[in-house]
Structure 1
Amino acid sequence: MPLSAATSAREILTGLHDVMAKRGSAQAKLDHVVDLIAEAMGSEVCSIYLLRAGALELSATKGLNKSAVHVTRLALGQGLVGTIANEERILNLAEASSHPAFAYRPETGEEAFHSFAGVPIIFRERAIGVLAVQHAEPRAYAEVEIEALQTVAMVLSELIAGARLVDGAERRRGQGEGMIRLAGLKLVAGMARGHAVFHQPRVVVEHTVSEDPELERARVVAAFRKMREQIEQWTREAEFGTAGEHQEILETYKMFAYDEGWVRRINTAIDSGLTAEAAIERVQQRTRARMLEIDDPLLKERMHDLEDLSNRLMRIVSGRIGTAAQSGLARDAVLIARNLGPAELLEYDRRRLKAVVLEEGSLTAHVTIVARAMGVPVIGRVKDIGHIAAEGDAVLVDGNQGSLVVRPTRPIASSFDNRMAMSQKRRAEYAAIRGLPAVTRDGLQTTLMVNAGLAEDAATLDATGADGIGLFRTEFQFLVSAALPGRDAQFKLYRQVLDAAGERPVVFRTVDIGGDKALPYLNDIRDEAENPAMGWRALRLSLERTALMKAQARALIEAAEGRTLRVMFPMISEPWEYEEARALFEAQVEWVRERRQGPSRIEYGAMLEVPSLAEMLDQLLPRIDFLSIGTNDLTQFLFAADRADPRLALRYDWLSPAILRFLRRVAREASAAGVPVRVCGEMGGRPLEAMALIGIGISNFSITPAAVGPVKAMVRSLDASAIRTKVEQLLARPPRDMRKVLGDWAKRHGVAVG
């Protein structure tokens, strides 16, 4: 190629609009375009293939047989051209016939040409055609030649779509592409239907050719400056990313944001005649093409970070930097995002937010915890959802199965509605028993309390008929704050919760941060261990950071003035940890009572999550007022199975004889000591598992608000003495499949386990 990439592209762009603006048929315009490109690039062959009737049709050529125009057709994925369009990738081949996808078309006369280079013509993130050049001599095309082709293809896409030369080019991305089923990771259960709303809507490049390159360059410089300022601000105060990844993500973002090579490539694209937005998109397309050639998963992940940063830069340069929450949700929304922080999620109107779909996400991410408390279904690890769905698409979300449907057909939507209706019918049945006691058929009284973490959660007590809050996770306030919450802020929250609960009990768990709940504003509590859940967290951290715990203790004590304060300590391994924590609390009680009225009564409890504590219950039980069993952590520690790892999700079962025997022993010891036991965790919120827990002597539960109705229905249909007899028999001689045996028993005895 005799000219530079920028010069060649600029020369072509100058002529393209002139050609397309002239009067004449669409075919005549395409013929002029390939002549123009071939001449400017010194190419023997230049061809344009356009997507028509579902196939790529040779629509114009300079150098191949003219008789093949509108005759040669290739399906998506067929031949070199079909591969380029289907995978939206670049092919640069010194010998075209050596590629496994090569498909010979004799009518084109292309056997005389050996080298081949092709780039996708992309309009609104969808390939609508292919631009290809060929030479007789076998040679690989230079990088500058490929870049020139990409630049030309970008502008060509706008002109082709504007002239409606391809099928559906005038439609928005995703529309009319048909129904698509997707699977992901179940994060928060529930069913919902709504319309796709992007947390940070993608910017569609409407104008590609610039009139003033200097102005476009200045816009990019200003955008980079603003983006870098944002990243520096994140490092100082904002919550960012997911648990355990903050520092790594920020360092990667900094690396890309200050990468002069990235800036230089964008400026080169501007030199070729593109607007700032088109230049960023052009470089982004090249990055996507390179990602397809990378096998290293770590490098691919870094490329995803660059893609995310490119989108941010695009939003800044176009002036569209807000989120969907800031612009408001017009109707029922299924929120789509790469990832979210809990504070970002809380900005959305709960009445309109129906579900969340994430490209990333994990079971222990902060946003998952908050979404569960909000009752919003969430599916994570949905690959490429940001490109598959379009803004406004109808979406069906089944958080129970970890699946979703984009653009459902009428029969599929109808079937989904029927399943949702059944679910709503069950909720109506649960609402009918909301005011009735959770008593078994033979008179056993159970207590059903809820887990909470936000001030608004106290409102669920009336809605569900729960007996109180059995676990208030005080760390939520820390997770959603940009800075460490002070004592006054904590006091305000705790007083608000107690006021909303009224006479119903509230059990506050002291802050459980550290480990996998890293806070961006407390860099020194990060745990880099391979399994942070078993690291420096919860009470272990609080006993070392006593100022943190003293501030929380005083806030709780002052908030409970004149009432009963119930507080429990998490992650206790040995009784001495409980003793130290209680002594610290009682010192603060004494300090408060010297100055003002304190709580009328304080009840202290311990959480049994670490198996070692079960061996020391004879020492612990005389000192505590209640015992809470955290089945989530306890189970993963008992089975040495990380609950955040989806590969291990089915490797252990809460109805395993091992866990049931362990919990039965704990329940018996606590009962003998006169200490009430409560299960706090997902196990107690599942009707079949709750039935088994009643069978081993546990009748107090703290569960999600959504689980109160199903568990109460199970309790009211159960004969407690019968299930106790049955469970004792099963634990004496455990069956191969405890879950199946218990499920069959429940069905025969009319127990409502769902």
Structure 2
Amino acid sequence: MPLSAASSAREILTGLHEVMAKRGSAQAKLDKVVDLIADAMQSEVCSIYLLRDKALELSATHGLRKEAVHVTRLAMGEGLVGTIADEGRVLNLAEAAAHPNFAYRPETGEERFHSFAGVPIIRREMAIGVLAVQHADPRRYDDVEIEALQTVAMVLSELLGSARLVDGARSSQRDAGMQRMAGLKLVTGMAKGIAVFHQPRVVVEHTVAEDTEAERARVYAAFRKMRDQIDHMTREAEFGTAGEHYEILETYKMFAYDEGWARRINEAIDSGLTAEAAIERVQQRTRARMQDIDDPILKERMHDLEDLSNRLMRIVSGRMGTAAQTGLSRDAILIARNLGPAELLEYDRRRLKGVVLEEGSLTAHVTIVARAMGVPVVGRIGDIRHIVAEGDSILVDGDTGAVIVRPSRALVNAFDQRMAMSQKRRAEYAAIRNQPADTKDGRHVTLMVNAGLAEDAAMLEAAGADGIGLFRTEFQFLVAATLPGRESQLRLYKQVLDAAGDKPVVFRTVDIGGDKALPYLSDERDESENPAMGWRALRLSLERKALMKAQARALIDAAAGKVLRVMFPMVSEPWEYEEARALFEEQIEWARAAKRAMPSRVEFGAMLEVPSLAEMLDQLLPRVDFLSIGTNDLTQFLFAADRADPRLAERYDWLSPAILRFLRRVVVQAREAGVPVRVCGEMAGRPLEALALIGIGIDNFSITPAAVGPVKAMVRSIDAAAVTAKVEALLAKPPPKLRKSLGDWAKRQGFILG
């Protein structure tokens, strides 16, 4: 049957809309549709199978026996039709009966037809039916015929769905009732709300074009914009010219500039599709072809190709904003593959109740920000975007790592009761918030908080904290479109100091670059394959001295009449600390010479995050006023484990003897030098880990505000001398599972571990 794929598809599409728009029963419409397709494609048989009650039912046919309609049913995976729907792929057979999955149905009278071609009818990424053609003569169908069938199936899916002629969506995971999933606990807490996608998927609402040339022009304009975006990405610092980033970017560029891709979209428009439908059509074909590829590397790239197609779709549809830009109207649970810290901070904190990520790790920056915001997060829910639909009700249990989609009323009631119990625990923590964090044998533990937002300083009293042990100044840089000037920095720092009152605030100089790259601070020379170990933090600041000078002057002015405490991040060797301190002291002398109001005192500290610094403490300690240990970066450097890699998220334990022994050596050396030591990583915010840290001699923590109550309750329940003796014994002869041994012992002692 000779035909042009574009002309035949266009003829069918026009007829489809006319049929579906007319009055009449659903069955009458389907009967006319199969007649129309069979006539246009000169096919002896055309059949539509629709997914109903979890089975593929013959719903209309031209050429098979009419008595078989609504009688012949095939399960998903059964027969040729069931295979097509189950695997979401095309079958093109010269001899249907020769296929191993062939299932004969005598009531259809199909035994006289040898050739068979079928394509899935897909709606919202789920198969809702199958469109099939058959001929008596054995032959394979031409590519143009298959292409026409697929185009028709795509439009047919939208028409069937909007006309409610199919209830196959019930078989999809998205509408399969309640779903319970287990993920990785990233931020504790409980939350409920409706599902909101960070980047909502563009749903194709109009499939048939009214003006083909206008649709073509829209696609050309979208391609130009997308290519400009990809070119811009190559100039950003987070993409080097070697390693995985480079390979991913090259794949992006290859497809962005692939004329074959653009041509296929053009051909789909020629068949009568809108720009959005044409992109979706080609994307479906790419997915189908990728299923046949065995190369694991190419399969991994499927995500990249999906992202690129989705980017083009968002551009052509004009829906470029995230859910943060469009705003949250109700209590929401945010769904995303992953997020950057700046993206999370864009959301309305009054409406954002929880986050569910496909990826995520315990020490990723977005997790740290979420903890500061008090937003529960569960990660590693790999199929969440296919299971959840926008607006679904979701329960997030960050305490257990559970996510429940479309919960029953009974489950919601039970969840509400648990939330009430959680609130009761918070009330118990609030009751001791003004009590000192003293152990039963009189050892005092200082509990400070990590912060990064101005309003965090106002939460000190509510949290019962002793001050801010780590103020992350980079948050202001992450959420800004351009480099914050000295005046805007000054306003923020003064606001924080004023809100803290007499309580100490330790400002960490900007820790940006690497995995917290800023577009306005890119550097074409940055070729870091491992961003966490690249051009970032103090390394960046020492090269961009104007950046550090502006920050130094803002901090000095903001702290007029108060104690200014400054901490430098990612110090690898003492000379880096000395150079940074000298730069600050130059600005102090400048301010004094200019007769500006001065801080009453300035204290300087260093963050020990890079293991090499531990070998040079004898040189560093005489020059610092305090030492802070950042256990997040320190852990990944000690174990050579990228904290952003979800595969390693739970691989290395903070209660590893290697970490505790390393930290104990640092504590002993600092104590001998008379230098206070503080742990300001996420490790200290967990009661059992904090217990171990007390056991090795650390009594100053900086943790998230939400962790202050549980850690304080633990401190007030323990005997520090007994803890020290136990931890020393465990480190002298480490058991196979130190965490379990310490936890079991602590429970026997009656310690409160939350």
TM-score scaled by length of structure 1: 0.91
User: CA contact under 8 A between 2:238 and 2:515: conserved in structure 1?
Assistant: no
Match of 1:127 in 2: 127
Match of 1:308 in 2: 307
Q: 3-state DSSP class of the match of 2:89? A: coil
User: CA contact under 8 A between 1:441 and 1:720: conserved in structure 2?
Assistant: yes
Q: Deviations 1:528-563 (Å, cap 9, x if unpaired)?
A: 445443344333343333333333222222222221
The residue identity in structure 2 corresponding to 1:660 is L
User: CA contact under 8 A between 1:238 and 1:482: conserved in structure 2?
Assistant: no
Match of 1:683 in 2: 683
- Quickly say closer, same or farther: Cα 1:21–1:623, change in 2 above 3 A: closer
Match of 2:657 in 1: 657
Q: 3-state DSSP class of the match of 2:697? A: coil
What is the rounded CA distance, in whole Å, between the counterparts of 1:185 and 1:646 in structure 2?
9
What is the rounded CA distance, in whole Å, between the counterparts of 2:524 and 2:225 in structure 1?
30
The residue identity in structure 1 corresponding to 2:504 is P
What stretches of structure 2 of length at least 5 have no aligned partner? none
User: CA contact under 8 A between 2:237 and 2:522: conserved in structure 1?
Assistant: no
The residue identity in structure 2 corresponding to 1:407 is R
The residue identity in structure 2 corresponding to 1:413 is V
User: CA contact under 8 A between 2:3 and 2:145: conserved in structure 1?
Assistant: no
Larger deviation: 345-354 or 323-332? 323-332
5 Å matches for 1:403-442?
Answer: 403-442=402-441
Task: Give 1:591 shift.
Answer: 1.3
Larger deviation: 370-379 or 127-136? 370-379
The residue identity in structure 1 corresponding to 2:202 is V
Task: Give 1:656 shift.
Answer: 2.9
Task: Give 1:566 shift.
Answer: 0.6
- Quickly say closer, same or farther: Cα 1:83–1:700, change in 2 above 3 A: same
5 Å matches for 1:713-752?
Answer: 713-752=713-752
- Quickly say closer, same or farther: Cα 1:69–1:543, change in 2 above 3 A: same
Q: 3-state DSSP class of the match of 2:605? A: strand
User: CA contact under 8 A between 2:53 and 2:171: conserved in structure 1?
Assistant: no
Task: Give 1:217 shift.
Answer: 3.0
Q: Deviations 1:684-720 (Å, cap 9, x if unpaired)?
A: 1111111122122211101111111100000111122
Q: 3-state DSSP class of the match of 2:195? A: strand
What is the rounded CA distance, in whole Å, between the counterparts of 1:627 and 1:471 in structure 2?
12
Match of 1:395 in 2: 394
Match of 1:282 in 2: 281
Task: Give 1:637 shift.
Answer: 3.0
User: CA contact under 8 A between 2:363 and 2:632: conserved in structure 1?
Assistant: no
- Quickly say closer, same or farther: Cα 1:677–1:736, change in 2 above 3 A: same
Larger deviation: 704-713 or 187-196? 187-196
Task: Give 1:153 shift.
Answer: 1.5
- Quickly say closer, same or farther: Cα 1:363–1:246, change in 2 above 3 A: farther
- Quickly say closer, same or farther: Cα 1:452–1:240, change in 2 above 3 A: farther
- Quickly say closer, same or farther: Cα 1:494–1:295, change in 2 above 3 A: farther
The residue identity in structure 1 corresponding to 2:52 is R
5 Å matches for 1:578-593?
Answer: 578-593=577-592
The residue identity in structure 1 corresponding to 2:306 is E
Larger deviation: 328-337 or 220-229? 220-229
What is the rounded CA distance, in whole Å, between the counterparts of 1:653 and 1:198 in structure 2?
32
Match of 1:182 in 2: 181
- Quickly say closer, same or farther: Cα 1:690–1:271, change in 2 above 3 A: same
User: CA contact under 8 A between 2:364 and 2:644: conserved in structure 1?
Assistant: no
Identity %: 81
Larger deviation: 332-341 or 295-304? 295-304
Task: Give 1:353 shift.
Answer: 0.3
Q: Deviations 1:456-501 (Å, cap 9, x if unpaired)?
A: 3222212211111111122223333333333333323222222221
Match of 2:37 in 1: 37
User: CA contact under 8 A between 2:361 and 2:643: conserved in structure 1?
Assistant: no
The residue identity in structure 2 corresponding to 1:627 is L
User: CA contact under 8 A between 1:515 and 1:527: conserved in structure 2?
Assistant: no
Q: 3-state DSSP class of the match of 1:524? A: coil
User: CA contact under 8 A between 1:199 and 1:335: conserved in structure 2?
Assistant: yes
What is the rounded CA distance, in whole Å, between the counterparts of 1:247 and 1:547 in structure 2?
30
5 Å matches for 1:485-564?
Answer: 485-524=484-523, 528-564=527-563
Match of 2:570 in 1: 571
Q: 3-state DSSP class of the match of 1:521? A: helix
- Quickly say closer, same or farther: Cα 1:322–1:612, change in 2 above 3 A: closer
The residue identity in structure 1 corresponding to 2:32 is H
Q: 3-state DSSP class of the match of 2:92? A: strand
Task: Give 1:44 shift.
Answer: 2.7
What is the rounded CA distance, in whole Å, between the counterparts of 1:254 and 1:489 in structure 2?
38
- Quickly say closer, same or farther: Cα 1:606–1:81, change in 2 above 3 A: same
What is the rounded CA distance, in whole Å, between the counterparts of 1:583 and 1:111 in structure 2?
89
- Quickly say closer, same or farther: Cα 1:514–1:176, change in 2 above 3 A: closer
What is the rounded CA distance, in whole Å, between the counterparts of 1:237 and 1:137 in structure 2?
58
Q: 3-state DSSP class of the match of 2:459? A: helix
What is the rounded CA distance, in whole Å, between the counterparts of 2:506 and 2:525 in structure 1?
27
What is the rounded CA distance, in whole Å, between the counterparts of 1:712 and 1:266 in structure 2?
61
- Quickly say closer, same or farther: Cα 1:545–1:425, change in 2 above 3 A: same
Match of 1:146 in 2: 146
What is the rounded CA distance, in whole Å, between the counterparts of 2:305 and 2:639 in structure 1?
39
Task: Give 1:385 shift.
Answer: 2.6
Larger deviation: 494-503 or 289-298? 289-298
What is the rounded CA distance, in whole Å, between the counterparts of 1:175 and 1:614 in structure 2?
52
Larger deviation: 2-11 or 286-295? 286-295
- Quickly say closer, same or farther: Cα 1:314–1:172, change in 2 above 3 A: farther
How well do the aligned residues superpose, as a CA RMSD in angstroms? 3.0
Q: Deviations 1:630-686 (Å, cap 9, x if unpaired)?
A: 222223333344433444444433223333233223222222222211111122111
User: CA contact under 8 A between 1:237 and 1:483: conserved in structure 2?
Assistant: no
User: CA contact under 8 A between 1:46 and 1:131: conserved in structure 2?
Assistant: yes
The residue identity in structure 1 corresponding to 2:471 is F
Match of 1:160 in 2: 160
The residue identity in structure 2 corresponding to 1:714 is M
Match of 2:476 in 1: 477
Match of 1:467 in 2: 466
What stretches of structure 1 of length at least 5 have no aligned partner? none
Q: 3-state DSSP class of the match of 1:357? A: strand
The residue identity in structure 1 corresponding to 2:729 is Q
Task: Give 1:250 shift.
Answer: 6.2
Task: Give 1:723 shift.
Answer: 1.7
Larger deviation: 254-263 or 137-146? 254-263
Task: Give 1:323 shift.
Answer: 3.2
User: CA contact under 8 A between 2:486 and 2:553: conserved in structure 1?
Assistant: yes
The residue identity in structure 2 corresponding to 1:284 is Q
Q: Deviations 1:282-339 (Å, cap 9, x if unpaired)?
A: 2232233223223334434544334334334444444444432233212110112344
Does structure 1 residue 61 correspond to structure 2 residue 61?
Answer: yes
Q: Deviations 1:353-392 (Å, cap 9, x if unpaired)?
A: 0112234445565433432322222334433433321111
What is the rounded CA distance, in whole Å, between the counterparts of 2:525 and 2:362 in structure 1?
19
User: CA contact under 8 A between 1:155 and 1:208: conserved in structure 2?
Assistant: yes
TM-score scaled by length of structure 2: 0.91
What is the rounded CA distance, in whole Å, between the counterparts of 2:359 and 2:695 in structure 1?
39
5 Å matches for 1:68-467?
Answer: 68-167=68-167, 176-227=175-226, 253=252, 255-362=254-361, 365-467=364-466
Task: Give 1:224 shift.
Answer: 4.1
How many residue pairs get aligned? The number is: 751
User: CA contact under 8 A between 2:335 and 2:357: conserved in structure 1?
Assistant: yes
User: CA contact under 8 A between 1:216 and 1:270: conserved in structure 2?
Assistant: yes
Match of 1:599 in 2: 599
Q: 3-state DSSP class of the match of 1:216? A: helix
- Quickly say closer, same or farther: Cα 1:95–1:384, change in 2 above 3 A: farther
Q: Deviations 1:490-529 (Å, cap 9, x if unpaired)?
A: 3232222222212111111222233333333333277544
- Quickly say closer, same or farther: Cα 1:686–1:121, change in 2 above 3 A: same
Larger deviation: 562-571 or 111-120? 111-120
Task: Give 1:140 shift.
Answer: 3.3
